[in-house]
Structure 1
Amino acid sequence: MDSSLSVPFYRMQPSAKPAISWYMKTPLTTLFTLLIFSAFGQVSLNNIGLTPGEYAVGFRHFTVHDSSRTYQRVGDWTNEHSPRPIPVSLWYPAQPTPATPLQVLDYYRILAEEDEWEYLPDEFLLNWFDYPNTAQNRAHLQEPTTARANAAPLSGNFPVVIYAPSLRASSIENFALCEWLASHGYIVLASPSRGADNKHFEGATLKDAATQARDLQFLLAKVHAFTGQEQPKIATLGFSFGGLSQVLAQAQHQDIQAMVSLDGSNKYQYYKLEPSPFFDVQDFDIPFMHLSQKDIPREVMLADGIDTTLNSQFEFFDQLTHAEAYHFKFTNLTHAYFSTLGVLFQTRDPRQDKPDPAIMVAYRQACEYALQFLQAYLRDDAQALAWLQGAAHHQAGILPMSTKTPVATGITFQDFHERAAADGYQNLDALWEEIKGQQPSFQIPEGRLNNLGLQLMFNPQTSQDGILILEFATRLYPNSANLFDSLAEAYLFADQRSQALAAFEKSLVLDGGNTNALQRIQQLTE
C-alpha cells in the first residue's frame, strides 16, 4: 500500500477570544459546578471547561491517497474513479505562537470538505449537516478553540493517538478532546469514516467496519511520515462505530498498544466482528477501556425499536480474558454526547437527556478518563494508573461496572501443534497426556483438529501427517461423525480405500443422515 503524499495545509480563518478554564475533582466540586452552570452558564466550549495542558496546540488538515484502493466522489456525477483520498486531521504539541486560534467554524468547514461539499457557503453549514440553524448553534461556530493552524511542531518524543470517528462522521467530530490530548503531549491523527467505494456506508456492516479499519491501518503505516516520531507508543480512541472498527484494526496491526472506546459499537454490534477471518477475541491482549452511555429508559427503547438488552449486554467485554480492561458507565451522558459536536450542536431528547450543565461536566469527565488511561498505559504513569483504579471510582455520575486482569495464557493449541510437528506427528496420545499433566484445564476443540487435519491432508507432502492428526482426533472425540467423515476423506485422498470405507461406515453409524458418507460407501462398494 503506497500513497501519493501531498500536504496542502488547510488555511483557517482566525478568531480572538479568551482561552478556556477547567476545574472538577470531587463530587462536592461537581455539585458546585452544576449549581454555577444552572445559574449562569449555557453550552459552550468554555463551559465544558477542559483546562489545556502545558503544550501549545498546532493543527493541520491535509489529504493523502491510498493508491491500492479506488474511490468515486458521489456529487461529481461522473464515472471517474481515483485513488482513495484519505483526509487527515492532525493535532500536535506546538511551539508557542501569538497566532489567533481556530474557531469552531474552521472545523465545521473541514466537516463540509470531507463530506465533499467543500464549496458550500458558511450560511448553509448548520442545516446542511443535521444540526439546527439556531442562534445558539450559530454562536458556537464563532467560539475560539485552543489550536493554531499550521503552528510549528515541537520537537520531542510524543505518544500517538489515532481517533476513529463514528458512522460516516468527520475527522473533527471530537476536536475538543483531540486538542486537549495534544495539549498534554500527545499527537492525534484522525480521518473521516467513509464507505468502501464512496462516502456512503452500506449500513454499518462488517464491510464498512473493515473499510474504516483499513483507513486506520493506513494512518498507522504513515505515523512516521506524518509525525516524524520514531516507533512511538500508539493507542486508538474510537467513538460509536469507530469503536468497532478499531478492534478490527488492532486484530491486524500489532503496533496498537492500548485502546479507548467512547460508547463504542463493540458493545452494541459485537456480532458483526465475529464473521471476520481476522478477529478472535482470545487474541485481544492490550489494555482496553470502555466508557458507556447512561441506561436508556425502557419506554424510550420500546418507542424507538431499540433492543432492550442494550443497557446491560456487553459480550465483547465479557469474553476478554487476556486484556487488562475497564468498563465505566456515565450516568449523565447519552450516546451522542461522547463527541464535541454532539455536546455543542445535538438537539436534546427531552425524554431522557440530562440538563446541559450535567452533560458538559460528564463530557469533561470522559475526556479526563481517556487522558488518565493513556497516561497509565502509553507513559507508564503509576499515578495515573492508581487514579484509574481507585480515586476515579468516587466521581459523581460515573459507575465502575467491571475491571479485568489478564488470565495467564498457558499452553495453546498452537503450542500443541508445534510440538506435534517437531515430533513428526508421532506419539500424539503421549503428547496429549503430557500436556494435560502440565495444564489440566487444557482442551483441544474438535473443530481445530478437524481443520488442521484437512489442511495437512490436502497438501500432498503432508497427507500422512493429516491422517495421523485425524486419527488422533477420532480417539479424542470417538462420537464425532464429522471427524470420522474427514478421516475417511483423508484415507480416500491417500488411496487407502479399505480404511476409507471403514471410516465412512463408522461416520454413518454415528450420524445416519450423513449423505456424503452414504454416497462414498456406495462408490467404494460398487
Structure 2
Amino acid sequence: MRVILSMMFCLACTAARAESLFTFSNMPGLHGVGVRVVKQYDRTRTFTLQQGMLASVFSKQENRGRPIQTVIWYPAEKGGQGVRYDDYLQLVGWETDPERSPKERARTVDAWLQMVTEGKRRKQVESERRRRMWAVRDAVPKAGKYPVVIYAPSINNTTFENADIAEFLASHGYIVIAAPTIGETSRWIKKDLKHAELQVDDIRFLIDYARTLPQADMTRVAVAGFSWGGLSNVLAAAKDERIKALVCMDGAVRYFNSIVTQAKYAVPEKLRTPLLFLAQTPASMEENIRYKEDMSGSFMSRMSNADVYLLTMYPMEHVHFGSAYIRLDDPAEYKEYTPEEVSFAYSLGARYILNFLNGYLKNDGAGLAYLANRPVANGAAPHSMKMEYMPRQGKR
C-alpha cells in the first residue's frame, strides 16, 4: 500500500512540474530566506498618477512623493513556510499607490496577467500562483552583517521579476532590495535618458534605505539589473561610489549606446566598478538591421579601468533573463532550446552571479576561480556558453 501511495505522490509531483516551464535547479545556501515588504515614498520627488494604459484599474492619488514599493530578501533563521508565488504577484496591485483598495489591487493584478499572457494559459498561471517559494514572510533575520545587492528591474516591470535569484542570493548571505520600474507620472516609462535617470534615483534611494537595516554591510554594495535596469545601474555606478560591483542581465547598456552617451557623467574609461554581463544568444546581422539595433558603440569595451566579464548564453533569449517571464511564457515559443534547457541556463547564470559577487564583494578566491573556468567546467553543456574576460588596465 505504501508503494502505491508513494507512486501516486510521485506522479502527482511530476504532473505539477509538467504544468510549469520553469525549474530552478540550484540548492539554497546555508541561510534561511526572509522577505519583507515596505511601503514608502521618496518625499524629495513628486508623483501624481495620471490616466493612461490600463487606466480603468489605476486609481488617482494626491501627491505624497514618489512611491517606492520596497521588497527586501535577507538571510534569516530557518523555519516556517515559504510564500506562494501569488504573494509576489499581488505586489503588482499597488506599485504606484499603496493606498489602493483590495478590490482595485485585485483588478490591477488580473489586468497585468491578462496583458502578460494575452489572456491565455489560465491553467499554467493558476499552477504558478500556487507554487511555494523559499522566502518566509517576515522571518527572523540571521545575526551578522551581509553585503547588499540592489535589484533594478527591466522597463515597466516588477520587484519580483527575478525573485528566484533574489532568494538564492539571500540564502548565500546577501541582502537583496528591489523596487518596481515606474514612470514620472504613470506606471509606464519611456526609453530615454530622463526615464533611465528616474530609476538611477530609485537605486540611490534604496541604497540610502539599506543604511537603516541592521544586517546591511554598506561597505559592500552591488547593483544588479535586467534589461533597462542593466542600463540604469551602470549610470548609477557612474554617479555613486558606494556601488562596488555591477551585474547586467542582458543589460540595455549594450543596446542603447546613444542614450548612454547622452549621460556625459558616464565615461566608461573612468568607471572602476567590476561588471558581469550575462548576454542572450547573439542576433544575426539581418535581425539587427531589421530591428534597427543601436550599433553606434560599446560602453563595455571602453571600460578599460574595470574588470569586465561577458558570458554569452546561447539557450537564452532576452526575456529569459526574468524568471517571472519564463514561468508565464508561451510553451509554443520554445523552438531550438527546450524549457528545461532554458531553466538550467538561468540557474547556471544565477551561480555565475553568486560567484562574481563572492569574488568582488567578499574577496573570495573561489568565486574568482569559478569565473576563470571554462563554462563547461561549471556545468554548462558543451558549446552552450562562452565567457570573455576583459581585465582592467595593468592586469593584462
**2:48 matched residue in structure 1:** 72
Q: Tell me the distance in 1 between the aligned counterparts of 2:166 and 2:40.
A: 20
**2:392 matched residue in structure 1:** 406
Per-residue CA shift, 1:22-78, capped at 9, x if unaligned?
xxxxxxxxxxxxxxx9xx856355x32221111100001112111110101235665
Q: Tell me the distance in 1 between the aligned counterparts of 2:371 and 2:228.
A: 25
Q: Tell me the distance in 1 between the aligned counterparts of 2:94 and 2:85.
A: 14
Query: Structure 1 residue 83 and structure 2 residue 71: aligned?
Result: no
Pair 282,56 (structure 1): closer, same or farther in 2 beyond 3 Å: same
Partners of 1:52 and 1:184 within 8 A in 2: yes
Per-residue CA shift, 1:326-346, capped at 9, x if unaligned?
101100010011111011112
**1:454 matched residue in structure 2:** none
Query: Structure 1 residue 339 and structure 2 residue 309: aligned?
Result: no
Specify which of 107, 110, 122 is matched with residue 91 of structure 2. Answer: 110
TM-score (normalised: structure 2): 0.85
Specify which of 204, 223, 239 is matched with residue 191 of structure 2. Answer: 204
Task: Provide the alpha-carbon RMSD of the alignment.
Answer: 2.5
5+ residue gaps, structure 1: 1-36, 410-526
Q: Tell me the distance in 1 between the aligned counterparts of 2:334 and 2:73.
A: 36
Shift of residue 115, structure 1, vs aligned partner: 5.3
**1:219 matched residue in structure 2:** 206
Partners of 1:187 and 1:227 within 8 A in 2: no
Q: SS in structure 1 opposite 2:216?
A: coil
Pair 120,316 (structure 1): closer, same or farther in 2 beyond 3 Å: same
**1:307 matched residue in structure 2:** 292
Q: SS in structure 2 opposite 1:156?
A: coil
**1:239 matched residue in structure 2:** 226
Per-residue CA shift, 1:217-248, capped at 9, x if unaligned?
11111212135425340111110000000011
Shift of residue 85, structure 1, vs aligned partner: 1.2
Partners of 1:268 and 1:314 within 8 A in 2: no
Higher mean displacement: 267-276 or 53-62: 267-276
Partners of 2:24 and 2:164 within 8 A in 1: no
**1:49 matched residue in structure 2:** 25
5 Å-filtered alignment, 1:505-516, equals none
Partners of 2:149 and 2:175 within 8 A in 1: yes
**Larger helix share, 1 or 2:** 1
Pair 239,282 (structure 1): closer, same or farther in 2 beyond 3 Å: same
Shift of residue 373, structure 1, vs aligned partner: 0.6
5+ residue gaps, structure 2: 1-13
Shift of residue 121, structure 1, vs aligned partner: 3.1
Rg larger for? 1
Q: Tell me the distance in 2 between the aligned counterparts of 1:275 and 1:237.
A: 22
**2:125 matched residue in structure 1:** 137
Partners of 2:143 and 2:215 within 8 A in 1: no
Pair 308,194 (structure 1): closer, same or farther in 2 beyond 3 Å: closer
**2:352 matched residue in structure 1:** 369
Pair 286,349 (structure 1): closer, same or farther in 2 beyond 3 Å: farther
Q: Tell me the distance in 2 between the aligned counterparts of 1:115 and 1:84.
A: 8
Pair 406,298 (structure 1): closer, same or farther in 2 beyond 3 Å: closer
Pair 308,353 (structure 1): closer, same or farther in 2 beyond 3 Å: farther
Pair 65,49 (structure 1): closer, same or farther in 2 beyond 3 Å: same
Name which structure has the greater RCO, CA cutoff 8 Å, separation 6+: 2
Query: Structure 1 residue 170 and structure 2 residue 158: aligned?
Result: yes
Partners of 1:293 and 1:334 within 8 A in 2: yes
Specify which of 294, 303, 312 is matched with residue 320 of structure 1. Answer: 303
Pair 57,44 (structure 1): closer, same or farther in 2 beyond 3 Å: farther
Letter in 1 for 2:178: A
**2:3 matched residue in structure 1:** none
TM-score (normalised: structure 1): 0.65
Q: SS in structure 2 opposite 1:172?
A: coil
Per-residue CA shift, 1:253-300, capped at 9, x if unaligned?
101001111000011012201111321111111111101001235666
Per-residue CA shift, 1:120-153, capped at 9, x if unaligned?
4388366434123421221011000000001111
Shift of residue 404, structure 1, vs aligned partner: 1.1
Q: SS in structure 1 opposite 2:199?
A: helix
Q: SS in structure 1 opposite 2:252?
A: coil
Q: SS in structure 1 opposite 2:65?
A: strand
Q: Tell me the distance in 2 between the aligned counterparts of 1:142 and 1:95.
A: 24
* Matched positions, count: 364
Shift of residue 349, structure 1, vs aligned partner: 6.3
Percent of paired sites with the same residue: 26
Shift of residue 178, structure 1, vs aligned partner: 0.3
**1:128 matched residue in structure 2:** 114
Pair 149,67 (structure 1): closer, same or farther in 2 beyond 3 Å: same
Letter in 2 for 1:208: H
Partners of 1:327 and 1:402 within 8 A in 2: yes
**1:96 matched residue in structure 2:** 78
Q: Tell me the distance in 2 between the aligned counterparts of 1:57 and 1:90.
A: 10
Pair 360,351 (structure 1): closer, same or farther in 2 beyond 3 Å: closer
Per-residue CA shift, 1:302-347, capped at 9, x if unaligned?
6xx413677xx86111111000111011000100111110111122
